Structure 1
Amino acid sequence: MADALPACAAGLGLRRALLDELIEAPAGAFDFLECAPDNWIGVGGVLGEKLAILSSRHPLSCHGLSLSLGGPDPLDMPFLRKTREFLERHRVPLYSEHLSYCSAGGHLYDLLPIPFTEEAARHVAGRIAQVQDALGRRIAIENVSYYAAPYQALGEIDFIDAVLREADCDLLLDVNNVHVNAINHGYDARAFIDAMPTDRIVSIHIAGHYDEADDLKVDTHGAPVKDAVWDLLAHAYSVHGLCPTLLERDFNFPPLAALLDEVQRIRDLQARAA
């Protein structure tokens, strides 16, 4: 495993549509890249060669999509073995997954919310422990955006905290998801950030979202980061300190220079917080 990412690192999501531009990007344009190993395991040929070029030049973090940590189906152990091989081959310092589920009797092709109950927290924590054993490393779980709230015997904050403690894992704090959920479900985004356990936060994500209405935001990763999310990122730094921070963009790609401007804005906020 590679050394941990520095706290002041600012990264960019590695997407296939950006491969050539990332390879040609000026030195120092970003501190690390992040990909979903689910989309790259077994990929060879030209695409595999380009990934190898990038991972040889830049630290590579990984953000999983399909472990279905909260789901009822058995964990996919062959896939976990392949994931471990991918992480080791590319010397990945940080691997994270979503605190959600995406399979139940087969893949559902969406990241669905877990009921906020003590039983669900124990279930998820047990599966995270299995994943950590299979991968031979600690993982981080990401707070997710959700639109239909399942049964909530616990508050979202208490549920996340219970999973972190029971599983003894880390947290990837997605600031955009906090903002989206705060609008959609009517809570205070800054208070939510304040309540997150500083000692568990190992990375931060920011992204753009779609304003469907004043009281409905959709987490799309297809637009520039909104000012309110930048403000919330600055608040997170002020409360929890600096952390490797990634800009996610999945479609509607602007010229790379525009994305690098957003990466630079992360660096500017980090410098101000430092």
Structure 2
Amino acid sequence: MRRTVGLGLRREFLADVLEQAPSVGFWELAPENWFPRGSDAYRTLDQVREQAPLTSHGLSLSIGSPDPLDVAFVRKVKAFLDRFEIDVYSEHLSYCSAAGQLYDLLPIPFTSEAVDHVVERVRQVQDIIERPLVLENVSYYASFANELSELEFINTVLRQADCKLLLDVNNVFVNSVNHGYDPYQFIAGLPSERIVYGHIAGHSEEYDDLFVDTHGADVKPEVWQLLKFAYEQHGVFATVLERDFNIPPLPQLVQEMGRIETIQQGVVAGSERQLQTDTV
């Protein structure tokens, strides 16, 4: 498996990873899930990264929170990244705390005031971790009285904070159904130079106009098509398969990852053919 295809590392199949050494380009994990687990857990991670590099996708930074930034937490993240030689720290463009932990990833209002707030906090984080912060577009299920569109909000934060983007293709698709926009136009409107890597996952269809990003099912055909389009628009970027619930056996996950690689190879081959045609 090429380095451009990764898998979210989950405890449910950690023992299988160590035993089977599956063909995975890189592993993605949440740093805070490993902080309290002690030296034995860190030794396990050292074994995992002998197979493939690690990257990180956090859960509790809460970049849009009204609470003060948890500087002590960010410093722990920095130490973790340094310890395991992880270059990429991604998080959600959302918040999960307000006068206490909320235990969910909630959408930030799409307003100019919220942009300013998030941008200031992103700069603080980047100063501490000494790396670009990579922000993921999130799924959301209620829309506030917004001044900006979702796309305008994301692009403005990326530009003003000078940070990077984790493009979650499934979230784009889910939001396009729930909020009535064209997912292809949305992806085409994102800045290619900001995309560091992507996510793809499954979702549930509760109603015709309500899809939920669950990470608990196989990727749907419409999302595979949207991923292909994203590669065609922005170039092939590293992509992680996420699976958090109803987790199948590890070989089945690796097989689904193979579909990502197949799409990537097809897009690259198509680009090369087009280049040859253009030069004739």
TM-score band, normalised by shorter chain: over 0.9
**Does the aligned pair in 1 maintain the 2:3–2:26 contact within 8 Å?**
no
Match of residue 163, structure 1, among 157, 163, 167: 157
**Is residue 2:119 matched to residue 1:125?**
yes
Gaps of 5+ in 2: 269-280
Tell me the equivalent position of 1:63. Answer: 57
In 2: Cα distance, 1:267 partner to 1:8 partner: 10
Correspondences of 1:1-274 after superposition (within 5 Å): 9-26=4-21, 29-44=23-38, 46-274=40-268
RCO higher in structure (CA 8 A, sep ≥6): 1
Structure 1 residue runs of 4 or more that deviate by more than 4 Å after TM superposition: none
Letter in 2 for 1:263: M
Instruction: Give CA-to-partner distance per residue, 1:122-174, whole Å, 9 cap, x none.
Output: 11011000000011111110000000112211011110011001100000000
Q: What value does the CA root-mean-square deviation take over the aligned residues? A: 1.4
Select the structure of larger CA radius of gyration.
2
Moved more, 220-229 or 39-48: 39-48
TM-score using structure 1 length? 0.95
Letter in 2 for 1:261: Q
Q: Report the identity percentage.
A: 54
Q: CA deviation at 1:46?
A: 4.4
Instruction: Give CA-to-partner distance per residue, 1:234-260, whole Å, 9 cap, x none.
Output: 000000001010000012111111101
Partner-residue secondary structure (3-state), 1:102: strand
More helix by share: 2
In 2: Cα distance, 1:41 partner to 1:55 partner: 17
**Does the aligned pair in 2 maintain the 1:8–1:243 contact within 8 Å?**
no
In 2: Cα distance, 1:142 partner to 1:206 partner: 12
Partner-residue secondary structure (3-state), 1:271: helix
Gaps of 5+ in 1: 1-6
Query: How many residues of Structure 1 are paired with residues of Structure 2 in the alignment?
Result: 268
TM-score using structure 2 length? 0.93
